[in-house]
């Protein structure tokens, strides 16, 4: 078991047994995201994807709040937390190869909610709340909210959230399948990290390929989607990890993945 932690002011990263925990560290600002925070989040995601020793990322916020979204004071001074090619917080439009889990306590508002929607799994405390309040400011949730929320919630529920700007509770979000796991208050991070450990036992190349297929088949008909999936699945057959998986099964032992 190895644990290392580095602090870069606005974002903390902790490595533990193949899991990179990324914490937005602006509790005094409810973890609102300014440009420097976005840059540091983008760097953390690059670390996740580039380090072969890491399999899964967990994104959370310090101080009992996931994120209040954009830092409006910084925005008023001319800053933007939207990075070219990567979106809000360096996350919402980024292509992250490895699985990413959001661990949500308290509020996930605006861009904060959109960052959670950009993750593959959401683990949330029972009292967490999610909201897209942009419509109250004459804007739309343009960093994934309008696009992704109707894909994750029933259409009429998603439209209620988008059109009213009123929050949805974790309990209601869970009923409709937006949340993968509900925890007690204060337990979202531990729950997300435990889930991450269940993921890290699996082959890292296969995990990345699952995400790749899901990205590439969006909007395709079944025939086109199966063609994409078949090509991707076949590419795994010749990998060392696929061979190791079969040998480990035959030898009745845990596989040792190499990521190649």
Q: What average pLDDT values come out for the chain (260 residues) when binned by 10 residues?
A: 57 95 96 96 96 95 96 91 96 96 98 98 97 93 95 96 96 96 97 96 91 88 90 85 86 84
CA 29 to chain centre: 21
pLDDT of residue 7: 46
pLDDT of residue 254: 87
Domain shared by 241 and 162, yes or no: no
Spatial distance between the Cα atoms of 111 and 108, rounded to a whole number of angstroms: 8
138: in domain: yes
Could you tell me which of 255, 257, 209, 215 has the C-alpha nearest to residue 233? 209
Catalytic residue among 5, 105, 134, 251: 134
Q: Respond yes or no: is residue 194 known to be catalytic.
A: no
258: in domain: no
Spatial distance between the Cα atoms of 186 and 61, rounded to a whole number of angstroms: 12
Domain shared by 190 and 210, yes or no: no
Catalytic residue among 114, 216, 244, 251: 114
pLDDT of residue 132: 97
Cα dihedral 193, 194, 197, 202 sign: negative
Neighbours of 234 (CB within 10 A): 9
pLDDT of residue 153: 95
79: in domain: yes
pLDDT of residue 240: 82
Domain shared by 107 and 148, yes or no: yes
Q: Respond yes or no: is residue 134 known to be catalytic.
A: yes
Based on the structure, what is the number of domains in the chain?
Answer: 2
Please, which residues have CB within 8 angstroms of residue 240's CB and are 6 or more apart in sequence?
258, 260
Q: What's 78's domain CATH number?
A: 3.90.226.10
260: in domain: no
Q: Which residues span the domain enclosing 118?
A: 3-200
256: in domain: no
Cα dihedral 32, 116, 206, 222 sign: negative
């Amino acid at each position: 078991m190895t644990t290392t932690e580095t602090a870069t002011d606005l974002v903390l990263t902790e490595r533990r047994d193949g899991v990179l925990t990324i914490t937005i560290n602006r509790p005094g600002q409810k973890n609102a995201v300014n440009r420097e925070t976005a840059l540091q989040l983008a760097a953390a995601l690059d670390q996740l994807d580039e380090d072969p020793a890491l399999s899964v990322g967990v994104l959370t916020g310090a101080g009992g709040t996931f994120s209040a979204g954009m830092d409006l004071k910084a925005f008023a001074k001319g800053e933007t937390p939207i990075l070219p090619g990567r979106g809000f917080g360096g996350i919402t439009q980024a292509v992250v190869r490895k699985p990413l889990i959001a661990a949500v306590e308290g509020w996930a508002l605006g861009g904060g909610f959109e960052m959670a929607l950009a993750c593959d799994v959401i683990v949330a405390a029972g009292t967490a709340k999610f909201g897209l309040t942009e419509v109250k400011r004459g804007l739309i949730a343009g960093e994934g909210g309008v696009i992704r929320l109707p894909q994750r919630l029933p259409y009429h529920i998603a439209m209620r959230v988008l059109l009213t700007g009123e929050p949805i509770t974790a309990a209601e979000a869970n009923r409709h399948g937006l949340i993968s796991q509900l925890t007690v208050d204060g337990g979202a991070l531990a729950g997300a990290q435990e889930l991450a450990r269940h993921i890290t036992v699996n082959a890292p190349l296969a995990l990345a390929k699952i995400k790749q297929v899901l990205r590439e088949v969006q909007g395709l008909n079944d025939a086109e989607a199966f063609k994409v999936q078949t090509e991707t699945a076949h590419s795994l057959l010749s990998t060392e990890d696929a061979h190791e998986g079969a040998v480990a099964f035959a030898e009745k032992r845990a596989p040792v993945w190499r990521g190649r």
